[in-house]
């Protein structure tokens, strides 16, 4: 339950609320990916968010960590774009919490 609620609040407050907001306010430019325009700060914050999951190398196999870093970077782009467009943390927090909850539920079911 802790992961489902509090991790999303903490990580979104840090990465979207502080890091991404700071970078968007201090860096110019944007990159178009398919049909979405990502501000430079949004992209950098997403990559930083993904890279923090490299700490899982301490207890998970390399291949799992690489796929997790790619997945969390992609998730960071989605959550970052939501924050970039709305200037609110409510959507990213709810989406993050839902994602964590479903992932942990799936892992629990697979291990059961």
pLDDT in tens, 88-99: 999 999 999 998
Question: How far is Cα 95 from Cα 112, in angstroms, rounded to an integer?
Answer: 25
Strands 36-39 and 30-33: antiparallel
The H helix count followed by the E strand count for the chain is 6, 2
Global confidence as pTM: 0.88
Question: How far is Cα 8 from Cα 4, in angstroms, rounded to an integer?
Answer: 7
- Please tell me the total count of domains within the chain: 1
66-84 pLDDT, tens digit per residue, is: 999 999 999 999 999 999 9
Domain that holds residue 107: 2-111
Residue 31 main-chain phi, psi, to 5 deg: -125, 130
Which pLDDT score, from 0 to 100, does residue 105 have?
85
**Measuring CA to CA, how many Å separate 88 from each of 25, 83, 92?**
15, 6, 8
Tokens for 109, please give them: 């079911």
> Which has the closest alpha carbon to 41: 71, 104, 84, 6?
84
Once rounded to an integer, what is the mean pLDDT over residues 53-63?
91
pLDDT category at 5 given cuts 50, 70, 90 is confident
9-48 pLDDT, tens digit per residue, is: 999 999 999 999 999 999 999 999 999 999 999 999 999 9
Which pLDDT score, from 0 to 100, does residue 12 have?
96
Q: How far is CA 52 from the centre of its chain?
A: 10
């Amino acid at each position: 339950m802790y992961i489902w609620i509090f991790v999303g609040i903490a990580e979104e407050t840090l990465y979207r609320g502080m890091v991404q907001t700071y970078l968007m306010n201090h860096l110019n430019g944007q990159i178009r990916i398919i049909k979405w325009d990502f501000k430079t700060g949004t992209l950098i914050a997403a990559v930083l968010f993904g890279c923090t999951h490299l700490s899982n190398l301490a207890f998970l196999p390399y291949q799992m960590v690489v796929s997790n870093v790619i997945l969390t970077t992609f998730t960071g782009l989605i959550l970052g774009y939501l924050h970039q467009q709305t200037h609110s943390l409510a959507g990213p927090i709810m989406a993050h919490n839902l994602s964590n909850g479903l992932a942990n539920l799936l892992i629990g079911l697979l291990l059961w």
